[in-house]
Structure 1
Amino acid sequence: MFGRLTLPQLLFAGVLGLAGGIYIYQPIFEQYSREQKELKERVKLAQVSEEKKS
């Protein structure tokens, strides 16, 4: 089955598949990154408000 494709063709197909997967899932990665930043900010604000109460 693989005898018909050369190594450069297989590598090109692999790189193309990887790039396509990253392109498709990029919005999910960006959303996760945004949610993590918001979570860190909320934790930081909660700590500051706790310090002010004490």
Structure 2
Amino acid sequence: MFGRLTLPQLLFASILGIAGGIYIYQPIFEQYSREQKELKEKVKWAQESQEKKS
């Protein structure tokens, strides 16, 4: 099988596969970063409200 494809064809197929994987999983990455951002804001808000009480 390896002998049937040239190196440029293998490189093109690899790049295409990586780009396709990034395209497919992009919404998951965006959701994760959004959730982390919300979590940081909640922690920051909780710390500020706790400091106001003290």
Fold conserved (TM > 0.5)?
yes
Show CA shifts across 1:1-54 (max 9, x none): 110101110000000000000000000000000000000000000000000000
Unaligned runs of 5+ in 1: none
Deviation beyond 4 Å, 4+ runs, structure 1: none
Normalising by structure 2, we get a TM-score of 0.98
How many residue pairs match? The answer is 54
- Aligned identity (percent) is 87
Q: 1:1-54 counterparts in 2 under 5 A?
A: 1-54=1-54
Unaligned runs of 5+ in 2: none
RMSD between superposed Cα atoms in Å: 0.4
Q: Which amino acid aligns with 1:15?
A: I
